[in-house]
Chains A and B, each alone.
Chain A
């Protein structure tokens, strides 16, 4: 047998072997279709001049934004469907994409399966067997994590007061237990996984009341060697509740409160002292810590939340909603800044005043699941949250081109990038929406709805984009009723 590689190269047909076609006719047809498209674009330009609020055409253009366009923007549409699942995935399941483009769902109410994998080509499911031994309370356990990288799933958390778990290999379809470790004193504040090393980061305190200080530390589990070790020492002091985010082997640690040595032992808030604004990044693969400059945030007294993607860190300061007097004019209750890892620079995000002129803004972050890009969504905080009322104005910000675009007139819950098309999703909260909804951003900046109605709205669902499809998995369609199917939105162009 000839070597396969040569045989594959040899399958190229000669010109005489293929069915002939008229190339000149093809060129003529292409030119006609192009001219029709230009007429449509001219009509769109007239609409802009007439006052329709369409932002610059290059905003979120494919070459600048969410994905490299394999095919230039043209007509695009999307259609909802539902896919039955062999398991009930429950709330907020872990979802991921295998290297073969299949959909992985971990988290199941079924004791016979820990999750399931959808072959996106055939539509067939295969289940993931239950974890060996005791599960670290993956579903809802505040000290449990499930992470997916390079066709491996790692589940880790507290078992009998120690950090332990198991990892699953999709190729061999086997679970391997992760033994308990004594390398750290707490259940950790953050966990990162690069496919080979699982890192658990502890930042400060332990005990049931979180009052006993411990040294910041990293415990690393090597999947191949099946051993725990201590990682690089964190370059910061012991601290309470820093904001943390992890993704693809990176852990970002922001701020937190330093211990107050003069605090009374029975202080109800614990020994909480001054707030810190410093930032640190841990690289699991290199086992290195990096200090990052403070963010240019002017948010006043606020809480923070952070997000991390492959090239950006986002910090958003916010005030708890119930602490804000609705009648009070507060201009600095929210602030956001984004750090680009590749250029080591911060950018303060200016509020989209042209879209939300009252300056009371709720920021939410949404790491687009496919491009792993942090996209911020701003919503007017003064608008009504009632389903029967007009949806609040929204705007969408991408760190890539550092500008806002107006969102569709829906209760925007998330954005996803499907190749070169930005998709806005709503209905990820059954309390404010009746059904899932999708709007697609066209090349000329309009938002168009999906061609059919979506399935029931659902809360605590997980969203992932694979190829041309957006999958909405798990969650609840009422207070106590879990979904049993996957809602799929397929884009066609």
Chain B
């Protein structure tokens, strides 16, 4: 039974906020953007609170949707930059070089949408394959295949990065 009081909702928001920021940072590659998206998502939760039965699952679905929308806006902005003569390389260069967790978030965020979602749900949220498939609305085989492709892509990226640093 979910406690519907304002106090319980505020406590839930405070408890879920860091976790949600981490999840969304893996999607968008930027902690500060993730914080904004997480707060938007928590506000949406407050708006729909009387009808939400599984708050964490709801937050994950809505938050991931919002991160996808953010990506679409971002690419629209990039297309606008390109129309004004700013090259993609310059745009990438503006985002700087990242290390550690920031580099990992950035690498995950650069994966195709379903791959970054499966990585976040499987290894950040620790969902099982079946739970991930249910959350994503796809077959378990798809989750396994996407996980395989995503990990291979990430390993390849980090391996080549380490080789580059050692060279």
Contacts and interface: CB of A to CB of B under 8 A. Distances in A.
Given A1-B158, A4-B158, A467-B68, A21 B17 contact: yes
Contacts of B26: 8, 11
A492 B72 CA distance: 11
A15 B151 CA distance: 28
B105 A11 contact: yes
B75 A31 contact: no
Given A26-B46, A29-B46, A99 B142 contact: yes
A68 B57 CA distance: 13
Contacts of B19: 12
Interface string A1-42: 100110111111111011101011011111101100100000
A138 to B, nearest CB: 27
B113 A100 contact: yes
Interface residues of A, number: 42
B56 interface: no
A15 B17 contact: yes
A121 interface: yes
Contacts of B105: 11
B151 A1 contact: no
Contact of A101 (B45, B101, B113, B155): B113
Contact of B47 (A5, A14, A34, A101): A34
- The DSSP consensus for interface residues of chain B is helix
B124 A8 contact: yes
B119 A13 contact: no
A72 interface: yes
A1 B49 CA distance: 42
B48 interface: yes
A37 B44 CA distance: 12
A344 interface: no
Nearest to B45: A30
A480 interface: no
B104 A9 contact: no
A70 interface: yes
B75 A122 contact: yes
A27 B46 contact: yes
Contacts of A9: 123-124, 126
Contacts of A14: 18
B13 interface: yes
B68 A10 contact: no
A10 B19 CA distance: 11
Interface residues of B, number: 60
Interface string A460-477: 000000011000000000
B92 interface: no
Given A72-B48, A100-B113, A29 B18 contact: no
A71 B44 contact: yes
B46 A31 contact: yes
Contacts of B21: 13, 18
Contacts of B45: 30
A21 B51 CA distance: 24
A33 to B, nearest CB: 5
B65 A71 contact: yes
Nearest to B155: A4
Interface in A116-173: 121-123
Nearest to B13: A23
B31 A26 contact: no
B140 interface: no
B154 A4 contact: yes
Interface string B64-79: 1100110110010001
B17 A99 contact: no
Given A11-B25, A12-B18, A71-B65, 17 more contacts: A1-B162, A8-B104, A8-B119, A18-B17, A18-B31, A18-B35, A27-B6, A28-B6, A30-B43, A31-B6, A37-B47, A71-B61, A72-B48, A99-B114, A101-B113, A102-B112, A490-B72
Lowest 5 A-B CB distances belong to which pairs? A30-B46, A100-B112, A8-B123, A12-B22, A23-B10
Interface of A: 1, 4-5, 7-15, 17-19, 21, 23-24, 26-31, 33-34, 37, 68, 70-72, 99-102, 121-123, 467-468, 490, 492
8 contacts: A4-B154, A7-B104, A23-B13, A26-B43, A37-B47, A70-B65, A467-B113, A468-B69
